Amino acid sequence: MSSLIVALFAVMIILAAMAGYATSSVQSQDQINYSVKVTRDTAGDISRTEVSSLGAIITSNTQLDFTLQNSGQSQFRQVSNWDVVVWYHGASGSGLEIERLIYTTSASPAIGEWTLTGIYEDAGTLNPEVYQPGIVNPSEQFIIRAELGPAVATSSTNTVTLAVEQGIAITEVFTN
């Protein structure tokens, strides 16, 4: 009889351990499924994201305006997560300058900074956006203003690159 009690007790311990393993396995599978869903959602956002350049011009010796359009199907929400990198020839023989500019919310960026001057239905006429202010929706246009230092050399060919939060980048050539 005592060996029967010991056997029942051993079976109960084994069943409890199996239930614990099953619960752990289900939780692990849930975490894997969630990770796969997040990866698919991110890949979907990336595939629906596209940015088109409408031109980049030097408005003064140190100020660059880069006009773009959201030509994809995704919204751009996280302006502070964008990257702007400029490769240009500096005036006065300073040579090639490569700068990753810092985002600022100021309307007038300091040297080494950039800002989003506005989001527009039509940047050419500065017709402001109407739907969801502060978010760059599909087909909306926007202007990035960068303050460079030193000044851009005259008759030089330079590039500016923007990378948005989904990881999509666009590069434009500009001259001074």
Share of the chain above pLDDT 90, in %: 50
Number of domains composing the chain: 2
pLDDT at 49 over 90: no
pLDDT at 140 over 80: yes
Q: Are residues 81 and 159 in the same domain?
A: yes
- Domain encompassing residue 10: 1-47
Quote the DSSP letter at residue 129.
-
Least confident of 8-12, 13-17, 38-42: 38-42
Spatial distance between the Cα atoms of 29 and 95, rounded to a whole number of angstroms: 56
Residue 63 contacts residue 56 (beta carbons within 8 Å) = no
Q: Are residues 22 and 66 in the same domain?
A: no
Q: pLDDT tier at 1 (50, 70, 90 boundaries)? A: low
Q: Are residues 29 and 104 in the same domain?
A: no
Tally the C-alpha atoms within 13 A of residue 13's C-alpha that lie toward its C-beta.
6
Q: Are residues 66 and 34 in the same domain?
A: no
pLDDT at 69: 95
Across the range 124-153, mean pLDDT stands at 92
